Amino acid sequence: MAETTKTADPCVMVIFGATGDLTKRKLLPALYNLARQDFLPHSFAIVGVGRQEMTTEAFRAQMTQHLEEFVQTLSAGTQAASLQKKEKDKRASRQRSDDRLIKWLLERTYYTGGDFDDDKKLFSDLKELLGEITATHQIPDNYFFYMATPPDLFANVTQKVVKNGLGKEENGNWRRFVYEKPFGTDLTSAEALNQKLLRLIKERQIYRIDHYLGKETVQNILVFRFGNSIFEPIWNRNFVDHVQITVAETLGVEQRGGYYDSAGALRDMIPNHILQLVTLTAMEPPVSFDADPVRDEQAKILQAIQPFSPEDVLQCAVRGQYGEGEIGGTAVPAYRDEERVAPASNTETFAALNLSIDNWRWADVPFYVRTGKRLSTRHSSIVIQFKKAPFMLFRETGIERLTTNRIVIHIQPDEGITLHFGAKIPGPVVNMGPVDMDFNYLDHFGEQVSTGYERLLYDCMIGDATLFQRADMVEAGWRIVQPVIDVWKALPARDFPNYAAGSWGPAEADAFMTADGRRWINELK
């Protein structure tokens, strides 16, 4: 990974889909945070591109409103409930600086709109506007194009950018293209999209973004593993019993019912978010933290995950759909009653898999992964569960069983790491109780207001692709889940809904753990 002290290249960020939800909630606040932390180059500009006809002044007015709303929302989520007078004064001072910062961003923001299918007017207007902007702000012809659009527009928009001469790299200047997930809907579509893009641009120009990898704790996995000599020697089949990876949400589908009902939990989360966490947890040490060595090792893990046969799917994959229930004391509807969801939908809102990595380090160590909506609590975590110590020494003591050691890497909502182990309970007899040692990012490093996109946008500007997936990684991820997609499509679920909102998912997910003599770790500190 690139050093954080490196100055980003002067450039222009072109956002296709600039009037959408992603732009206002994530991208603009992320750019604001980068500017506040002095990571944006002084020679920088933003061009919003959308279907809606709008003047630059109108777009700037919308941008001001969105920044005021969502930057404050982010700040409120990380600030303490009470502030001393001195802290209030500091906050007021920061607010005056923030106003100037917003003004600085607005002066560098432009907009053009039109029909994305029109390869003449919209894209010729964009080309002309980019020429004016680079001259006004003295920016070299470095552009990165962010596709905050529906995936079916990725190849079409890229083709028109290239056709109009905006994708050509010359005189030492660069062009980069950022694509949001989902990157394909199955293996066939992912392969086709990769082929289309690679006929237009080079792989080194493509940045397939997964905002989960922008989270500090996800990036810290590699530092935690390879930068601490006490952990790496036990990070293998000799000491680890199994690994659990959970991405749990209390929310339902919100306003995404139309998309979600055609995708489902498996497609939405496992080929990208969860398999990325698997690779970072399981990979071998790379020769360096440069992009390709890291991604080479991640790709090896994806290739080593044993493929599912149709029979395996029935034993090693579980799906669920939430019914009505209660979360936080509030009644919530069943999935089939959500807006823009089919009344008899068979789309899964929960998916769990038992993955086996066929290599020397992880032979016979199962990786259990699960994701779901309307679950009991919101948390994303990686649990490294170690094998039990021999009980022989403690037979004549009051200890009935030993505490199982585990490391829990908390990804959200509170980023940190917990070490769970056993210690003697004070008293005249030998007895053991479980204890935890906790590291929390907020406690140790202070407030870090973040959308999760800051690091990824910064990396794109400096040309560091470490946290972005390559074509082979995307296809390998889909290759792992494709047999599950095929079986679930051929055998529609007959028991949906099969878990209540506010629970931890269907009973079958617990059953395939207990069959192995294990259980999900739901209550995490």
Mean pLDDT, residues 117-128: 89
Domain stops at, among 180, 203, 238:
180
Residue 17 is classified by DSSP as: T
Task: Give yes or no for a contact between 264 and 349, defined as CB atoms under 8 angstroms apart.
Answer: yes
Q: What percent of the chain has pLDDT over 90?
A: 66
DSSP string, 175-227: EEEEEPSP--SSHHHHHHHHHHHHHHS-GGGEEE--GGGGSHHHHHHHHHHHS
Same-domain pairing of 351 and 414: yes
Please state, in angstroms and rounded to a whole number, the distance separating the CA atoms of residues 453 and 27: 7
Task: Give yes or no for a contact between 46 and 12, defined as CB atoms under 8 angstroms apart.
Answer: yes
Q: pTM score, two decimals?
A: 0.88
Q: What is the CATH number of the domain that holds 458?
A: 3.30.360.10
Catalytic center residues: 273
Burial class (CB in 10 A: 0-12, 13-18, 19+), 413: exposed
Predicted confidence (pLDDT) per residue in 143-193, tens digit:
999 999 988 999 999 999 999 999 999 889 999 999 988 899 999 999 999
Peptide linkage before 271 cis (omega within 30 of 0): no
Same-domain pairing of 232 and 159: no
What confidence score (pLDDT) does residue 356 get? 97
Same-domain pairing of 230 and 369: yes
Q: How many domains does the chain have?
A: 2
Which pLDDT band holds residue 72 (cuts at 50, 70, 90)? low
Which pLDDT band holds residue 397 (cuts at 50, 70, 90)? low
Same-domain pairing of 153 and 265: no
Same-domain pairing of 229 and 339: yes
Which residues form the domain of 102?
Answer: 11-180
Strand-strand pairing, 379-386 and 366-372: unpaired
In a domain, 377, yes or no: yes
Same-domain pairing of 376 and 477: yes
In a domain, 291, yes or no: yes
Task: Give yes or no for a contact between 50 and 111, defined as CB atoms under 8 angstroms apart.
Answer: yes
Which pLDDT band holds residue 311 (cuts at 50, 70, 90)? very high
In a domain, 107, yes or no: yes
Please state, in angstroms and rounded to a whole number, the distance separating the CA atoms of residues 251 and 148: 22
Please state, in angstroms and rounded to a whole number, the distance separating the CA atoms of residues 469 and 208: 5
Q: What percent of the chain has pLDDT over 70?
A: 89
Predicted confidence (pLDDT) per residue in 6-26, tens digit:
678 899 999 999 998 899 889
Q: What is the CATH number of the domain that holds 143?
A: 3.40.50.720
* pLDDT surpasses 50 at 96: no
In a domain, 202, yes or no: no
Mean pLDDT, residues 76-84: 41
* pLDDT surpasses 80 at 396: no
Mean pLDDT, residues 367-378: 96
What confidence score (pLDDT) does residue 422 get? 76
Predicted confidence (pLDDT) per residue in 47-62, tens digit:
999 999 999 999 999 9
Predicted confidence (pLDDT) per residue in 451-462, tens digit:
789 999 999 999
Same-domain pairing of 283 and 386: yes
Which pLDDT band holds residue 124 (cuts at 50, 70, 90)? very high
Q: Which residue type sits at 371? A: T
What confidence score (pLDDT) does residue 348 get? 97
Task: Give yes or no for a contact between 148 and 23, defined as CB atoms under 8 angstroms apart.
Answer: yes
Nearest to 180 by CA among 202, 148, 153: 148
Q: Which residue type sits at 149? A: T
Same-domain pairing of 171 and 219: no
Please state, in angstroms and rounded to a whole number, the distance separating the CA atoms of residues 142 and 170: 10
Same-domain pairing of 24 and 143: yes
Nearest to 441 by CA among 228, 218, 216: 216
